[in-house]
Every structure is written in C-alpha cells, then in structure tokens.
Structure 1
Amino acid sequence: MLLTRWRRWRRGRPFWGGLFAVLAGAEICALPLAPLKIMLQQGVAGIPSVLMGIVMIVLGITAWFSPAQRSLAGVLTTLIATAALVLSNLGGFLIGTLLGILGGGLMFAWQPYGAQPAAASPTAEPPVSASPAAASPTSAPPQNHDPQGATP
C-alpha cells in the first residue's frame, strides 16, 4: 500500500526533473564547501556557488510539491545551471551544470496525466446525420483541457 501511494505521488509531479535539480544543486553547492584553509584562500568567490546550489535545490523541491510551478522552476533551473558554468567552478566540474540543464528540461517538459477518455460503447453513440447542414449551428465547440486552467 505504501509503495502504491509512493508511485502515485511520484507520477503526479515532475519527480525526475526535481531530483536532477536537487542533485545538481547539491553538487554545485558542495564543491566550495572545502576545508577552512582552502575556503580562506578562495575568499568570497564561493558565496555565489553556495547560493546557486541552494536555489537549485529549492527549485527542485518546488517542482515536487507545487507541480503547477514546474514551468517557471524548469526555466530558472536551466538558467542558473548555465550561469553556474561561469560563476561556480565550471558548474561543479560540468556535472552540476549538466544535471541542472537535464533537470530543468524535464521539469519544463513534464505534463500531468489528463482525464482518461470514456470508453465508447456502440449503444452510447449518437446517430450520425448524413449531411453536414443538418448539424445544429448552436452546438458548443469542443473543450480543450488545460491543467493550468487557461481558457482560450
């Protein structure tokens, strides 16, 4: 039962994108956290790395717990991962940047499952008219489902 609930929770959000973003943030954040002697030599150059890593971790967690914000989180994760390439030890020696770009892309591209179409039975189908002119001019246009609630 617990495994079923975990799978349902994981499939209802951009889990893998968020996980890659959290891993990228941890990679970018952890490299500047060296021993104190090295940190003193590095100076304030490690502060942007730590901040970018923390922001990427927060964006990954945001995608998990607020899937409606996945597009913004994905774009920001990709931008921060790209900026980390220049500002943070080659983006965690390229590992953090690549994980961040992958995670941001997965978050942005993820779509929730839509409503499953009802199975059409032969008895439930309305009769088909022979001519297109016989169709009612007041029939409503087909409705498109948008998970974010936008209306056309």
Structure 2
Amino acid sequence: MSAESPGARERISHWRQSFRLWRWQRPFWAGLLTLLGGVPIIYIPHANPSLDQLYFRLATTSGSGSLIIGVLLFVLGLTMWFQPHSRVFAGVAAILLGLVSIVVANVGGLVVGFLLALVGGGMGVSWVPAKDRPSPGPKHAAGPGGEPDPAAPEPAPAGADDGRNGGRRDT
C-alpha cells in the first residue's frame, strides 16, 4: 500500500459521510418504511407456513392483488429516495395502498405491512427539505447550550406603541 492511497478506515469514513449527506437530503426513513411495508404484503399470501405436518395457506381471493400492492409500495419507497420532490404523491399513494391492502392482502400483511405503509407514507408527506424549513423566530432564538440568547430582541407587549402607527393604539 502506498503512502498516497487511503486506508480502509478512511474509505469507510468517507462512505459513511457521503451516505449521511445523501440520507439527509431526502425522506430516507419514510422510503425505508414504505419499502418494508411491501414485504409482508407480498410474502404472506405466497408463503406456505406449516405447523409440524399441518400445512395451511393464507391465500387471498386474488393473490396477484397482494403482489401488485407490495410491488407498488416497493416502487413508492424507491421514489421517495431517488425523487424526493415527488414525496407528497408517493406518500399519499403509499397511504392509500396501505388502506387497500387491508381488504385485498390478508388484512394488510397481518397488519404489519399496513402499519409500515401508513407510517412511511405519512412521513413521506410530512418531510420538508432543509432549505424549505422555517427558521425559528426571535421568540425561539437560543444561544449556545439552549439558553435564551440575551442579544435576541424581546417581543413587544400587545398594544404597546412601537412608533409605526403614529402614536395611535389599536384596541
């Protein structure tokens, strides 16, 4: 190994920092939960669980319905990751598919897939990029350590004359 090439520890550290930056720029956890919500919805109707020698089947009236819902949830989770600007559409669609899965896919993949799709879709709808988040106002201004900033201006009491309306008090 040459002195110029980075070691394994530096490469891993760089990869972790790159992944962290990528994850912060999109609704990562919303996409992950939506992806995971599709797994039980697809798996449970097509599995052959057994208890000792007793085989039973959790089949739906339409096994393809659960397959379609699960694949669509998987695609919506990937959409939240790779096209974060369409997160609201993907979140609403995930919520609707989660609700439909109750009827079509064995009570939403035995409730697990339903809950994951609902929570992931809700997180996708509510996620806001960092540049669009409102900044805290002067009332919430805090200095280092979370204490109120003494340099922050105090809000004027209600009805006080601040000189902007010609000395009139609005009541």
Length-normalised TM-score, structure 2: 0.63
Using the TM superposition, give the Cα deviation of residue 43 of structure 1 relative to its aligned residue in structure 2, in angstroms.
7.4
**Is structure 2 residue 18 aligned with structure 1 residue 5?**
yes
Looking at structure 1, the residues matched to 110 and 34 of structure 2 have their Cα atoms a distance apart, in angstroms, of 16
The one-letter amino acid paired with 1:85 is I
The alpha-carbon distance between structure 1 residues 71 and 32, as it changes in their structure 2 partners (threshold 3 A), is same
Q: Name the SS for the 1:74 alignment partner.
A: helix
Aligned partners of 2:46 and 2:59 also within 8 Å: no
Q: Name the SS for the 1:78 alignment partner.
A: helix
Using the TM superposition, give the Cα deviation of residue 111 of structure 1 relative to its aligned residue in structure 2, in angstroms.
0.4
Aligned to 1:122: none
Choose from 12, 36, 42 the match for 1:23.
36
Looking at structure 2, the residues matched to 84 and 69 of structure 1 have their Cα atoms a distance apart, in angstroms, of 22
Looking at structure 2, the residues matched to 43 and 92 of structure 1 have their Cα atoms a distance apart, in angstroms, of 11
More contact order relative to length (CA 8 Å, sep ≥ 6):
1
Aligned to 1:81: 98
Which consecutive residues of structure 1, in runs of 5 or more, have no partner in the other structure?
118-129, 134-152
**Is structure 2 residue 65 aligned with structure 1 residue 72?**
no
Aligned to 2:121: 104
- For these two proteins, the number of residue pairs brought into alignment is 119
Looking at structure 1, the residues matched to 60 and 73 of structure 2 have their Cα atoms a distance apart, in angstroms, of 22
Determine which structure has more spread, i.e. the larger CA radius of gyration: 2
Q: Name the SS for the 1:97 alignment partner.
A: helix
Aligned partners of 2:60 and 2:106 also within 8 Å: no
Aligned to 1:114: 131
Alignment of 1:48-67 (within 5 A): 48-67=65-84
Using the TM superposition, give the Cα deviation of residue 34 of structure 1 relative to its aligned residue in structure 2, in angstroms.
2.1
The one-letter amino acid paired with 1:55 is L
Which consecutive residues of structure 2, in runs of 5 or more, have no partner in the other structure?
1-13, 49-54, 136-161, 166-171
Aligned partners of 2:28 and 2:81 also within 8 Å: yes
